Structure 1
Amino acid sequence: MSLALTHARFRILETIRVPVAVVGGAFFPAASMLFFVVPFAGDEPVAATYATASMVMFAVMTSSLFTYGVGVAEDRAQPWDAYTRTLPAGPAAAFAGRILSGLTFMGISLVPVVLIGWLFTAASASPGQLLLALGSVVVGALPFTFMGLAIGYALPTKAALAVAQIIFFPLAFGGGLLSAPNNAPGFVETIAPYLPTRGAVELVWAAVGDFRVSPTSMVALAAWTLAMAALAAWAHRRDEGARFA
């Protein structure tokens, strides 16, 4: 654990030395809150609460796909990464440190969204609901974390950036993050239960409001999590086999 924390500290310090990298990860979700949630749903407590929860998962998905996807691909191109992966400590500590640093920046990206929801909308949640929502966010982040890791270990930097950008919006829109619960266009309501974004956001909706999760969405979320974890493990082994065999 101490070695994992050392890896996490190294990655956090490396990132915050370029402040725009931290600000950029928080900007898009915060801007979406200001331009789409505050003007259109800010005065309605229930709508504002659900919309803020959606933007929280929007920030989680953005952070996971780009922090892990693009970040891992960039690291793989550096000599330091190749060196650390040949050390006798094994990959577990570095892998855990990467996930811990990613969770740190994911938490940072959530702060502006929550603050905007608190200060400029009628959204509300009790301390217990907030705690439950935090647990839901961690669970909902898993498939996107593994997805980002799979992209990062399987592709070079330019390709990883392109793939993360290509899959980002379809997952957000198709999962219903950009619309109110049960109020998306018909084709979105049809496909949403089978996408990981829908299961993830339903967990947060249920944590902060009177929303009943769909069993289909929960099964799909679990299936996506397992599938992305297997894909990330395969991509990691493939990368090691290609570069260190």
Structure 2
Amino acid sequence: MTTYAPVLRVEIGEGLRAILREPTALFFSVLMPVGFYALFTSIFGREQAVGELPYAATSLATYGAFGVVSVMLLNPGIGVAEDRTRGWLRVKMVSATPIGVSLAARVVAALPYALGVIVAMSVASLLIAGPVLDVVTWLRLVAVLVLGGLPFALFGLAVGFVASSNATAAILNAVLFPMVLASGLWIPLEIMPGWVQAVAPYLPTYHLALLAQAQLTGAAALGHLLAVLLTTALGALAAGLAYRNLRV
């Protein structure tokens, strides 16, 4: 690993810049979640949502899950698809650097943006509603959200291995927004139609959001953790199969 550390640093730097060069993905995966959170927190900020916690705190878990999933699902997958379209992935595959290093760098490069989404939401919460979480709870929430976003990066890579860059963006957005809406990350499930409430427990975003909320409320979270781990295993399987059948 030490041998490839300089290459990994270069690849991560390129991945960070690639996200900035893609304004559409940056808007949908970073700016829009923060904007939504700031809007609804300004309306409902200190209203009680779950237990004794204000809306500004509990929605940091749900909108934070939305923001992290957006970043981790869209950016690595679209980046890999663009490399395939330009033929750059073929060059990497025949170079001395293991392709795994390049792919890992794509995922790692998305992590600062995922963290940035949560920090931006936290700043908005602080400005609008004041302090609603202690530091330890906030750090625990951040860790769960960022790590919980990794399986979505695997699914994004799986799509990026088989589709063009434009098709990858369309497919991932077509999956992301219905999944987020049906998981109750924007609108509470309690006021959603019954069929949506029935579908939600089968969605990985639902379990990530409840796992994040459990860090605030102390609710039981083992089932949600197992669901996130299962999502990770399925994402790794999907990415592995897609890479095995890769055509560049």
Partner of 1:71: 79
Indicate the percent of aligned positions where both proteins have the same amino acid. Answer: 24
Amino acid at match of 1:26: V
Pair 1:222-2:229 in alignment: yes
Amino acid at match of 2:230: A
Post-superposition shift, 1:18? Answer: 6.5
CA contact (8 A) 1:37 1:52 kept: no
Take 1:123 and 1:173, find their aligned partners in 2: how far apart are those partners?
27
Gaps of 5+ in 2: none
- Most deviating of 174-183 and 101-110: 174-183
Amino acid at match of 1:108: G
Q: How does 1:81-160 map to 2 (within 5 A)?
A: 81-121=89-129, 124-160=132-168
Take 2:227 and 2:214, find their aligned partners in 1: how far apart are those partners?
17
Amino acid at match of 1:147: F
Gap change, CA 1:65 and 1:21, over 3 Å in 2: closer
Partner of 2:243: 236
Pair 1:29-2:29 in alignment: no
Q: 1:11 aligns with which of 4, 12, 15?
A: 15
Gap change, CA 1:17 and 1:76, over 3 Å in 2: same
Take 1:82 and 1:59, find their aligned partners in 2: how far apart are those partners?
31
CA contact (8 A) 1:41 1:51 kept: no
Provide, for residues 151-201 of structure 1, a one-character-per-residue CA deviation record: whole Å limited to 9, x for no partner: 111211121111112111121012121234766543333222221001111
Amino acid at match of 1:189: Q
Post-superposition shift, 1:43? Answer: 4.1
Take 2:169 and 2:163, find their aligned partners in 1: how far apart are those partners?
9
Gap change, CA 1:185 and 1:125, over 3 Å in 2: farther
Take 2:198 and 2:25, find their aligned partners in 1: how far apart are those partners?
36
CA contact (8 A) 2:62 2:185 kept: yes
Take 2:151 and 2:97, find their aligned partners in 1: how far apart are those partners?
27
Q: How does 1:30-45 map to 2 (within 5 A)?
A: 30-44=34-48, 45=53
* RMSD across aligned positions (CA): 2.4
Gaps of 5+ in 1: none
TM-score between the two structures when normalised by the length of structure 1? 0.86
Partner of 1:107, secondary structure, is helix
TM-score between the two structures when normalised by the length of structure 2? 0.86
Q: 2:201 aligns with which of 188, 193, 196?
A: 193
Post-superposition shift, 1:206? Answer: 1.0
Q: 1:58 aligns with which of 66, 85, 88?
A: 66
